[in-house]
Amino acid sequence: MAEKDKKTTTTATTPETELTSKTAEAVATQPTETPTATTPANAKSKSSAKNRKKTVSAGEMHIKATFNNTIITITDKQGGALATSSAGASGFRGSKKGTAYAAQVAAEKAIEKAKNNFGVSSVDVFVRGIGLGRDSAVRALLPFGIAINSIKDLTALPHGGVRPKGERKP
């Protein structure tokens, strides 16, 4: 059995030919090529590129204020979401989600995330809806020192509506 082990360590087989002990030693001394994706140096650079913090100085704050909830989303100029929060995510339940105070707390949470994680320093505000949290969500920006470049109301306005069901009858 020792002879058999000795043979396997001194010779190696490939599908084409059997290598002699000299060529096996020569092959063993040559550096082996490893795929570049599995090398630790490349993996480290990939992960550091992936974990690199994105810095956004100017962004957009979208406020959707309904009667039942207020949703705050802070995005970059291209529309990629940086931070979101809502009255429901802030711990308010039921009819309390539609209050101005709940909207203020939700806005503070979203602003704090965006400022700490991405360095947002100025925003354009876009307000949609007719809920109670419209004004209080905008006012929540003031204590954080974030500059407001513009405020736009994007609430959809009714324009006569769709045709009523029985209008064609004389």
Residues 63 and 119: their CA atoms lie apart, in Å, by 20
String of DSSP letters for 97-123: GGSHHHHHHHHHHHHHHHHHHH---EE
* Helix spans in 53-170 (H): 100-118, 134-139
Contact 110, 116 (CB under 8 A): no
**Is 126 among the domain residues?**
yes
Quick one: CA torsion of 143, 148, 152, 154, rounded to 10 degrees?
-50
Specify the CATH number for the domain of residue 85.
3.30.420.80
Q: How far is CA 77 from CA 84, 123, 150, in A?
A: 15, 9, 13
Burial 97-115, CB ≥16 within 10 A → b, else e: bbbbebbbbbbbbbbebbb
For tokens 């429901």, what's the residue?
Answer: 88
Number of domains the chain contains: 1
- Residue 90 belongs to some domain of the structure: yes
Mean pLDDT of all residues belonging to the chain? 80
**Helix, coil or strand: residue 13:** strand
Q: Does residue 73 sit within a domain? A: yes
Alpha-carbon gap, residue 116 to 74, rounded angstroms = 13
30 phi, psi to nearest 5 deg: -75, 145
**Within a domain: 124:** yes
Give per-residue pLDDT as tens, 106-165: 999 999 999 999 999 999 999 999 999 999 999 999 999 999 999 999 999 888 888 778
pLDDT digits (tens, 9 = 90+) for 1-11: 555 555 545 44
Write out the residue range of the structural domain in which residue 134 sits: 58-153
Tell me if 87 is assigned to some domain: yes
| Domain-located, residue 7 | no
Pairing of strands 147-153, 122-128: parallel
For residue 13, is pLDDT > 80? no
Assigned domain for 141 exists: yes
- Please indicate, yes or no, if residue 19 is contained in any of the structural domains: no
